[in-house]
Amino acid sequence: MAFSLTTSNMFGELGRFASWFKGDCIAPEEYSGLAVTEKLENVQMLDKYNLRNPSKGTLYFATTHLIFVDHEMRKETWILLMHISSVERLPITTTGSPLLVRTKTFQSVFFVIPRERDCHEMHQTLLRLSQPVNLDELYCFHYKSTPDDLPKSAGWNFFDIQTEYQRMNVPNDQWVLCTANKDYELCDTYPSEVYVPARASSAVLLGSASFRSRGRLPVLAYLHHNNAAIARCSQPLSGFAARCMEDEQMLDLIRRANPNCGYMYVVDTRPKINAMVNRAAGKGYENEAFYDNIKFQFIGIGNIHVMRKSLQKLVETCEQNSPTMSSFLSGLESSGWLKHIKSILDASWWIAKAIECGVSVCVHCSDGWDRTAQVCSLAAVCLEPHYRTINGYQALIEKDWLSFGHKFTARCGHVACDSRERSPVFTQLLDCTWQLLRQAPEAFQFNERFLLTLHDHAHACQYGTFIGNCEKDRRDLRLWERTFSLWGYMASHLNEYKNPLYNPKAHPDVLKPDLSPQSIRFWRGMYCRHESGIHPRESLADILPAAVEHSGALTHHIDYLAKRISTFKSLLSGRKADKSKESAVVNYQNGSDNTEIDTKVEALQIDNKLLYECSGNLTELECANDDHPLKDVGTAAPTGKIPLITEKADAAVPATLAQLESEINTVALDWKSLKNVTECSCSTPLDHFSRKHHCWGCGRCVCTRCVSARAPLPALAAPRAVPLCAACAPTTPATPTSPTSPPHNLVTPAT
Amino acid sequence: MEFIELILINRLDGVILKYPHHDNVDGTVCITGHHLILSSRKEGVCELWLLHKNIDNIEKKETKVSGGILRGGSLFLKCKDLRIFQLDISSTSELNLLAQTLENLSTIQDPSLFYPFFYRHMHPIMENGYTLYSVEGEFTKVLATEEWRISRVNQYYTVCASYPKGVMVPKVIDDETLAAAATFRQGGRFPVLSYRHNNGAVLLRAGQPLYGPKHRRCRPDEAILNTVVSAGMKGVIYDLRSSNAILQQQNKGGGSESPANYSQWKIYNRSMDEVDNQQQLLESFSKLIEACVDREISSDKWLSKLESSGWPESVRNSLHTACIVAQHIHQKAEPVLLHGTRGEDATLLVCSLVQIILNPDCRTIRGLQALIEREWLQAGHPFGSRLRSGPYSASPARSAPTFPLFLDCVRQFLEQFPCSFEYRQCFLVVLFEHAYSSQFGTFLCDSDQERETRGVYDQTTSIWSWINQPDELTAYINPMYDPTPNVIWPSVAPMSYVIWEELYLRWLADQHTEEREEQYKVIRTREQHLRAQALQLRRELLELANQYYAPNTK
């Protein structure tokens, strides 16, 4: 069975699947199925809260991970090499040479290595491995199979820009698809398909592009149902006095594409002083005197360097050895992080308000791929409920970030490059989204885990989705052929990202955020994720979804019981079982709860269906809740592959009462509470962010690794494979769909 | 009624009430002895009923029009429940009269004029809250150990003015010894039992020993303490003051126990000075609230004010101290004695928090009521003085939000253990509000003695009588409650602190906690309902199956 390395690891799960192999299975050059290039014994790992009792163990250098194993405590720490952001050697001590490893996922680990030479080598190795020189060396190009045995194509076509604009009723008589950028000749960092005012001539487009930094001319980013539009671009090359008739015309056409309003806003998201400085370099901002009917507005959001330094200070604050309330709060204040988060949200809400009032807005910053992307996306999240769904948010990232050239590779530091290009711009988008989610959880279909997954994968390079700096880069790299898509992986784990509090009716329209400084909070779940002791000891984020899943299990069990009851009733009354079959099926259909089905993105469902059918394997797709978008697909699947319980149940009743009882008892009525769970039965510690599963058979709580099989249970009236622990899993395959043993195609990419 | 002299104006038309997140209300203000009532006399517009005692501070702002002529102005009523109302009044003389009237009424000091003595509860009282939590009832299990007894040495409040009539003491100690020990403790607060853990370790509390510069000792006091230490063990005394504060007190005749005289005890100290210093705590709370209600505040200012208020640190420190004490009791089974100077503030706070950590009963609604009765009301926390003024007033002596600090600490527990508590945070908000001003008499006066002599127990209604009515009670039940039978250790890391937004920020922005909790309830109820249904169907099926298979077995 293959596991997704980063995802599991970041929630501290995969980190523990060594015990799956247990002791002697560890070959000298392999660890948990990963090829180990090097191994260091007697290494100490220091915990900042427990400096006196370091754990001692072995450090393995696998091809993708750095793994520390404390054999005595059976504790493992996994660090994805691509996640390493810095490696620092500290002054030598009596016990050895300390090495501080920091990750992009805000983990910092101290190793003390007995021999200085080893430490030096390890330092060099880590530096080399964590920052490849060429894009081709990235993990995604060597990653061979996903945990769900998805084909490589899965997910690459989930989102396409035309569908996304069609959802906004574009093209229409005001906005049209422009083919001038088909081969990126107009602007190489823009998508090949851009939407522009219907009346904009090629001359206007060309002229405007030539007057904008890097050719990033004003194009449509979002169209509200009241015809007010968000357009995005880069700064004009105006300098102190330059003007461009075509650009002025272009903005005027954008304004006129919204017939309801006589003016429009041009928002420069930079602080005014920065914009002024740019003027001296021949760039700058629009002169209100040259552009008719525009209102110009500065909204000061700091640049990438300000944000990078701010995050650095924030991380230092979180890393304090024994933080006092005072040092933590003043560190938080002096980092300025929350101030910056607020400034981004302020700008976004300002734009959203203008749009809501029917005024179009044209947004830019310098190049229009950092701050502009942030505020365009967040304004859309506030304005349009669709963008608060899982698919919608992914589509938004696809459109505003990937298509419009947010430089993920540069900003996330995927390969060795100028460190001044790195900046937590995308992290801030997620943080801002988390602020909105925290304030109004019922407005969002996704949960915190969804945002953390996006964050970690943007840096992990396991999937090709975030590789490259713009659409053209990705096309040149042929990522869709050579790598897996994160969207494919996420689509088969949708259940993990669903927010049980989501209620689309709660905020059917604009979501008004509370932007008072008192309501902008420090995101502990992101920046202190790896500190186990500080999170709520009982997590509603686990307990509520478990309650929902349990309800789903019970519903299927109830349907089964009802069916059996009617069978017995008719048997007892001497009638044929045929009728009961009908009524049972009807009963089952009535019993299912389809309220939350997200039917909007049909493309996604169709694609997943295809994917599901060719994989032929039961994955989590089928174990999803009733409202999983793929549920209908699952039930409609050919019966040859999945024996339907309905047939089996009606074919015959069990021979004896004892058999019936044992059939009933294959499903647990009670599930173990997730409240006090600190470890799985395999003694793997489970922390706040570990994904916890329930075995549907016995109701025990198990870790990802211990979900040893997925198989349908006879006492469930649904042909779905459900998660089972080793004890409950059928010893002989009950159906051809539950494999006897996991395929041993563990992820061992070539070095 | 003597209110007549205080009420200079009892009715005023054309007052405009301005309140954030609400439409302005144009209405008539009526002043009664206890309430300010503002009514628009229109259908569907809420009337405002404000207890005068809830008013913390009144600010008057006169409107000057051109030429310096006064044209009325605004009254800002800052309330102890943290709300701020603005009343616009068009005539200056009426403005002044109303301001003076409210000033008069809100600063009445005589408890017998307070509203609880005039309030008649509408519903029949099923349980009298005043008699619900007797010392006998609360300590039944402890009494059964035969090691402890209830002493009536304080029956007439002569030994200790701030203790109740009955206190729990070691069985082998007689009343004379207690009385003698009382002379050695501040305020006569001799060591009494606060809590006995299920491993037999006990938590005691007292006032500071009057050790003084002359190094006094008191054999009866030592005797009381030594009886709780089993052979071969040592007890732990936690003095909740800094070394400096102890030294200062020693010069004034107080101090800490001398290790020489209490050889069976390890004596530690851990500073909770900021909690025991009333003025400092009130200032801290005022700064916090000032920052919380400031709509114009910048992000930087907000964080720096939050930090400099010291309130988050007080919350963290209280929890941390409680954790340390609870560890001694739970993990080492050592008896612990807690005291500060008077032992009426920080000591009670820590005693209560230790019990929330250790004792699952305290995490139920009735358990919290009992805890507040035992450790706050009966233990002599001077509610009357401490909560005379809130965060908006110019700190009069002895006022301090010790009890609100306790509630805030409990709120932190609810955040970290959302399933272990039977009550939800709105219960704590209700307690916060009623502790300051209420129609119920529970939180009146400074001690059991004062409540008894003033007739609180006979003439007023207990808040528990009201809360425990089934209809009322359901509103406070946490839908996620799933009792945890053992101890719960909260995180005391600064990152774990959360601001109590449902209280401090509720007037700044709408809080949706309760709607969310309703959602939890829906999810939980559905799960429980389905489980019950499945169980029922299983029975039904087995019954049918039995019928079906029965002939085969015959």
pLDDT in tens, B40-97: 888 777 789 999 999 999 999 988 877 777 788 999 999 999 999 999 999 999 999 9
Nearest neighbour of B299 by CB, restricted to A339, A554, A558: A339
H or E stretch at B60? strand B55-65
The string of pLDDT tens digits covering residues A156-176 is 999 999 999 999 999 999 999
Exposed / middle / buried, residue B124 (Cβ in 10 Å: 0-12, 13-18, 19+): exposed
Contacts of residue B531 in chain A, CB cutoff 8 Å?
A: 550, 554, 669-670
| Other CB atoms within 10 Å distance of the CB of residue B183 | 14
Higher pLDDT, A751 or A368: A368
Asked whether the beta carbons of A629 and A597 are under 8 A apart, the reply is yes
In this predicted structure, the answer to whether residue A598 has a pLDDT above a threshold of 90 is no
Mutate to test the interface with A, among B297, B487, B523 (most CBs of A within 10 A): B523
Contacts of residue A528 in chain B, CB cutoff 8 Å?
A: 495
Instruction: For A637-659, give the DSSP string.
Output: S-TTTS--HHHHHHH---SSHHH
Residue B8 gets which letter from DSSP? S
Determine contact: A306 vs chain B, CB below 8 A. no
pTM over 0.80: yes
The string of pLDDT tens digits covering residues B101-112 is 999 999 998 999
Mutate to test the interface with A, among B302, B408, B522, B543 (most CBs of A within 10 A): B302
Measure the CA–CA gap between A8 and A88, rounded to whole angstroms.
Answer: 26
In this predicted structure, the answer to whether residue B450 has a pLDDT above a threshold of 70 is yes
Higher pLDDT, B418 or A685: B418
For residues B410-437, average pLDDT: 97
Determine contact: A662 vs chain B, CB below 8 A. no
pLDDT for B1: 53
Determine contact: B302 vs chain A, CB below 8 A. yes
Cβ–Cβ of B418/A536 closer than 8 Å? yes
Report CA torsion sign: B401, B402, B406, B408.
positive
pLDDT for B551: 63
pLDDT for A516: 95
Contacts of residue B540 in chain A, CB cutoff 8 Å?
A: 561, 565
Instruction: For B39-108, give the DSSP string.
Output: E---TTSPPEEEEGGGEEEEEEEEEEEGGGEEEEEEEEEEETTS-EEEEEES-HHHHHHHHHHHHHHHT-
Measure the CA–CA gap between A516 and A355, rounded to whole angstroms.
Answer: 21
End-to-end CA distance of chain B: 89
Measure the CA–CA gap between A361 and A355, rounded to whole angstroms.
Answer: 7
Asked whether the beta carbons of A296 and A288 are under 8 A apart, the reply is yes
Contacts of residue A524 in chain B, CB cutoff 8 Å?
A: 495-496
Contacts of residue A666 in chain B, CB cutoff 8 Å?
A: none
Residue A66 gets which letter from DSSP? E
Cβ–Cβ of A558/B537 closer than 8 Å? yes
Cβ–Cβ of A561/B297 closer than 8 Å? no
Cβ–Cβ of B416/A537 closer than 8 Å? yes
Contacts of residue A653 in chain B, CB cutoff 8 Å?
A: 548
B23: which residues sit within 8 A by CB, 6+ positions away? Answer: none
Nearest neighbour of A333 by CB, restricted to B307, B488, B530: B307
Measure the CA–CA gap between B533 and B332, rounded to whole angstroms.
Answer: 46
Nearest neighbour of B524 by CB, restricted to A329, A440, A547: A547
Asked whether the beta carbons of A91 and A81 are under 8 A apart, the reply is no
Nearest neighbour of B300 by CB, restricted to A323, A325, A339: A339
Q: Which of B1, B123, B116 is nearest to B51 (CA)?
A: B116
pLDDT for A165: 96
Q: Which of B371, B480, B348 is nearest to A536 (CA)?
A: B480
Angle at A303 between CA A461 and CA A430, to 5 degrees: 45
In this predicted structure, the answer to whether residue A3 has a pLDDT above a threshold of 50 is no
In this predicted structure, the answer to whether residue A736 has a pLDDT above a threshold of 70 is no
Nearest neighbour of B548 by CB, restricted to A440, A536, A571: A571
Instruction: For A609-628, give the DSSP string.
Output: HHHHHHH-S--HHHHS-TT-
Distance from the Cα of A594 to chain B's closest Cα (Å) equals 15
Nearest neighbour of A548 by CB, restricted to B306, B416, B523: B523
Q: What is the largest CA-CA distance in chain A?
A: 95
Nearest neighbour of B494 by CB, restricted to A324, A500, A551: A324
Determine contact: A318 vs chain B, CB below 8 A. yes
Report CA torsion sign: B137, B138, B139, B144.
positive
Asked whether the beta carbons of B234 and B266 are under 8 A apart, the reply is yes
Distance from the Cα of B476 to chain A's closest Cα (Å) equals 18
H or E stretch at A8? helix A5-10
Asked whether the beta carbons of A178 and A194 are under 8 A apart, the reply is yes
- Binned at pLDDT 50, 70 and 90, residue A625 comes out as very low
Residue B108 gets which letter from DSSP? -
Q: What is chain B's mean pLDDT, rounded?
A: 93
pLDDT for A80: 92
Angle at B414 between CA B409 and CA B420, to 5 degrees: 125
Cβ–Cβ of A538/B420 closer than 8 Å? yes
In this predicted structure, the answer to whether residue A714 has a pLDDT above a threshold of 90 is no
The dihedrals phi and psi of B121, each to the nearest 5 degrees, come to -70, 130
**Above pLDDT 90, what percent of chain B?**
86
pLDDT for A282: 92
Q: Which of A460, A527, A408, A469 is nearest to A84 (CA)?
A: A460
In this structure, what token pair is assigned to residue B372?
């507040």
Residue B47 gets which letter from DSSP? P
The string of pLDDT tens digits covering residues A509-539 is 999 999 999 999 999 999 999 887 889 889 9
Cβ–Cβ of A673/B482 closer than 8 Å? yes
Asked whether the beta carbons of A608 and A621 are under 8 A apart, the reply is yes
Q: What is chain A's mean pLDDT, rounded?
A: 82
Cβ–Cβ of A561/B541 closer than 8 Å? yes
Q: Locate all alpha helices (DSSP H) within A413-506, ordered by sequence.
A: 425-439, 448-460, 471-477, 479-482, 486-491, 494-497
Determine contact: A536 vs chain B, CB below 8 A. yes
pLDDT for A49: 62
- Binned at pLDDT 50, 70 and 90, residue A63 comes out as confident
Determine contact: A300 vs chain B, CB below 8 A. no
Contacts of residue B297 in chain A, CB cutoff 8 Å?
A: 516-518
B68: which residues sit within 8 A by CB, 6+ positions away? Answer: none
Measure the CA–CA gap between B496 and A297, rounded to whole angstroms.
Answer: 39
User: Per-domain residue ranges for chain B?
Assistant: 3-108, 130-511
pLDDT for A172: 95
Asked whether the beta carbons of B96 and B108 are under 8 A apart, the reply is no
Cβ–Cβ of A328/B547 closer than 8 Å? no
Mutate to test the interface with B, among A314, A329, A663 (most CBs of B within 10 A): A329
Measure the CA–CA gap between B317 and B323, rounded to whole angstroms.
Answer: 10
Higher pLDDT, A745 or B83: B83
Cβ–Cβ of B533/A554 closer than 8 Å? yes
Report CA torsion sign: A343, A349, A353, A355.
positive
Contacts of residue A324 in chain B, CB cutoff 8 Å?
A: 313, 494
B151: which residues sit within 8 A by CB, 6+ positions away? Answer: B166, B167, B168, B169, B173, B175, B178
Exposed / middle / buried, residue B513 (Cβ in 10 Å: 0-12, 13-18, 19+): middle
Determine contact: A577 vs chain B, CB below 8 A. no
Class of domain B3-108: mainly beta
Asked whether the beta carbons of A215 and A259 are under 8 A apart, the reply is no
pLDDT for A360: 97
Measure the CA–CA gap between A636 and A654, rounded to whole angstroms.
Answer: 27
| Other CB atoms within 10 Å distance of the CB of residue B5 | 8
The string of pLDDT tens digits covering residues A223-256 is 999 999 999 999 999 999 899 999 999 999 999 9
A365 counts as catalytic: yes
Nearest neighbour of A517 by CB, restricted to B297, B482, B527: B297
Check: complex ipTM more than 0.90: yes
pLDDT for A317: 95
Contacts of residue A516 in chain B, CB cutoff 8 Å?
A: 295, 297, 508-509
Amino acid at A593: D
Catalytic residue, candidates A178, A318, A362, A365: A365
For residues A425-429, average pLDDT: 98
Asked whether the beta carbons of B372 and B215 are under 8 A apart, the reply is no
For residues A718-735, average pLDDT: 72
In this predicted structure, the answer to whether residue A458 has a pLDDT above a threshold of 50 is yes
pLDDT for A571: 86
- Binned at pLDDT 50, 70 and 90, residue A730 comes out as confident
In this structure, what token pair is assigned to residue B85?
């109302």
Mutate to test the interface with B, among A444, A535, A537, A666 (most CBs of B within 10 A): A537
Contacts of residue B298 in chain A, CB cutoff 8 Å?
A: 339, 517
H or E stretch at A9? helix A5-10
Enumerate residues 420 to 439 of chain B having a beta carbon within 8 A of any beta carbon in chain A.
420
Give the chain A residue whose CA is nearest to the CA of B315.
Answer: A325
B436: left (phi over 0), alpha (psi -120 to 50) or beta: alpha
What angle in degrees, to the nearest 10, is found between the helix axes of A425-439 and A337-356? Answer: 70
In this predicted structure, the answer to whether residue A555 has a pLDDT above a threshold of 80 is yes
Amino acid at B232: G
Q: Which of A319, A308, A313 is nearest to A332 (CA)?
A: A313
Report CA torsion sign: B276, B280, B286, B292.
negative
Determine contact: A659 vs chain B, CB below 8 A. no
| Other CB atoms within 10 Å distance of the CB of residue B426 | 16
For residues A12-30, average pLDDT: 35
Measure the CA–CA gap between B51 and B30, rounded to whole angstroms.
Answer: 12
**DSSP bridge partners of A77:** A68
Cβ–Cβ of A657/B549 closer than 8 Å? yes
The string of pLDDT tens digits covering residues A291-311 is 989 999 999 999 999 999 999
- Peptide bond before residue A171 is cis, with ω within 30 degrees of 0: yes
The dihedrals phi and psi of A37, each to the nearest 5 degrees, come to -90, -30
Report CA torsion sign: B377, B380, B385, B389.
negative
The string of pLDDT tens digits covering residues A101-120 is 999 999 988 899 999 999 99
Residue A417 gets which letter from DSSP? -
Asked whether the beta carbons of A484 and A463 are under 8 A apart, the reply is yes
Contacts of residue B313 in chain A, CB cutoff 8 Å?
A: 324-326
pLDDT for B70: 77
Distance from the Cα of A447 to chain B's closest Cα (Å) equals 15
Rg of chain B (C-alpha set): 27
In this structure, what token pair is assigned to residue B130?
């005043």
The dihedrals phi and psi of B420, each to the nearest 5 degrees, come to -90, -5
In b/e form, how buried is each residue of B221-236, taking b as 16+ CB within 10 angstroms? bbebbebbbeeeeebb
Mutate to test the interface with A, among B297, B303, B425 (most CBs of A within 10 A): B303
Nearest neighbour of A514 by CB, restricted to B416, B489, B509: B509
